[in-house]
Amino acid sequence: MKIKNIIGNAFVILGYLSFLIFGAWGMFITARILIDIGGFLLLVVGLMVAPVVLAAAPLYAAVALNTFSPFIIIFGGGILSLFLIGIGGWISQ
């Protein structure tokens, strides 16, 4: 195996691992925001009925609560993960 493929695969693995970490962290933060806003019932509705609520919670926290850290962690972590996966795929070509 070429060193180029090893480095590219390392970037891809790192990207998927960061997706997992940022996803779990973001899910915990989003659950906490939904529980603070509307209680456990809003969390259940967000998980089962309307998953768009999960995507809107960090935006709500950024605009209404003036807390940008959930938005940066969730959306910035996703962009970083996609960037790492793309770089890894480009290197391994």
Give the span between the Cα atoms of 85 and 90, in whole angstroms: 9
What pLDDT sits at residue 20?
95
What pLDDT sits at residue 90?
95
What pLDDT sits at residue 35?
92
What pLDDT sits at residue 15?
96
Give the span between the Cα atoms of 9 and 27, in whole angstroms: 27
The number of CA neighbours under 13 Å toward the Cβ of 93 is: 6
What are the per-10-residue average pLDDT scores of the chain (93 residues)? Answer: 90 96 92 90 86 86 90 93 96 89
The answer to whether 57 and 33 have CB atoms below 8 angstroms apart is yes
